[in-house]
Amino acid sequence: MPVAEVQRTYPRDVTLSGGQSVHLRLMQADDAQKMLEFARNLDEEDLLFLRMDITAEDVIDKWVASVETGQRVSVLAERGGKLIGYGSLNRTKLTWTRHQGEIRVIINPSERRTGLGSTLAEEVYHVACDLELTKIVAQMPVSQPGGRRLFESLGFKPEALLTDWVIDREGTTHDLLIMSHDVSGFTG
């Protein structure tokens, strides 16, 4: 699943719903420092439910390694050379879920309500299509209704609600919503 299989054209500029332009490109090994800076400038609230601590250098090194093997494809959004968000398609090495990919999207809080989240989610969804995946999954705490609305707007449907499934940095548990979309039904 090398990045060479991705048929979308990168880098390229797109215009968001608010009329602002953003530069999209695929993450590469030399983006590790830029990703660390982006993560370290996120609010604590944005970091609460991440599966990995993207403020840690060794975690970013593993991310870069997974990009290089093709296990992960990450689309970076930049404005003025500064990283303002990313969308990532993550695949597992498990044989029985090889047809699936998981979308993760994080954007700078100042970029919310600009259409950037939807743009990145759509980009990653198209990457999944290029890689011939048939089921795309998104997971989020129930306490993040904005994420649910974003994925519902792209045609994702709730699949499961797992009670007390995730725990935040303070030790409080939260319910996890799993949503999915079959690629053949994508309308975005």
- CATH code, domain carrying 68: 3.40.630.30
Q: Is residue 126 one of the residues assigned to a domain? A: yes
Residue 102 — very low, low, confident or very high, per pLDDT cuts 50/70/90? very high
| Range(s) of the domain holding residue 121 | 3-134
Residue 28 — very low, low, confident or very high, per pLDDT cuts 50/70/90? very high
Q: Which range has the worst mean pLDDT, 25-39, 68-82, 136-150?
A: 136-150
Q: Is residue 163 one of the residues assigned to a domain? A: no
Highest mean pLDDT range out of 23-37, 145-159, 173-187? Answer: 23-37
Query: What three-state secondary structure class fits 121?
Result: helix
Q: Is residue 147 one of the residues assigned to a domain? A: no
Omega of the bond leading into 109 within 30 degrees of 0 (cis): no
pLDDT digits (tens, 9 = 90+) for 115-156: 999 999 999 988 988 888 889 999 988 888 888 988 998 889
Q: Is residue 158 one of the residues assigned to a domain? A: no
CA distances from 176 to 28, 90, 100, 147, 154 (A): 31, 18, 19, 12, 19
Q: Is residue 142 one of the residues assigned to a domain? A: no
Distance CA 131, CA 2 (A): 9
Phi, psi of 146 (to 5 degrees): -65, -40
Q: Is residue 113 one of the residues assigned to a domain? A: yes
Distance CA 4, CA 32 (A): 20
State pTM to two decimals: 0.87
Q: Is residue 162 one of the residues assigned to a domain? A: no
Average pLDDT, the chain: 86
Q: Is residue 161 one of the residues assigned to a domain? A: no
3-state helix, strand, coil in the chain (%, to 5): 35, 35, 30
In the chain, the number of structural domains is 1
Q: Which range has the worst mean pLDDT, 21-25, 51-55, 136-140?
A: 51-55
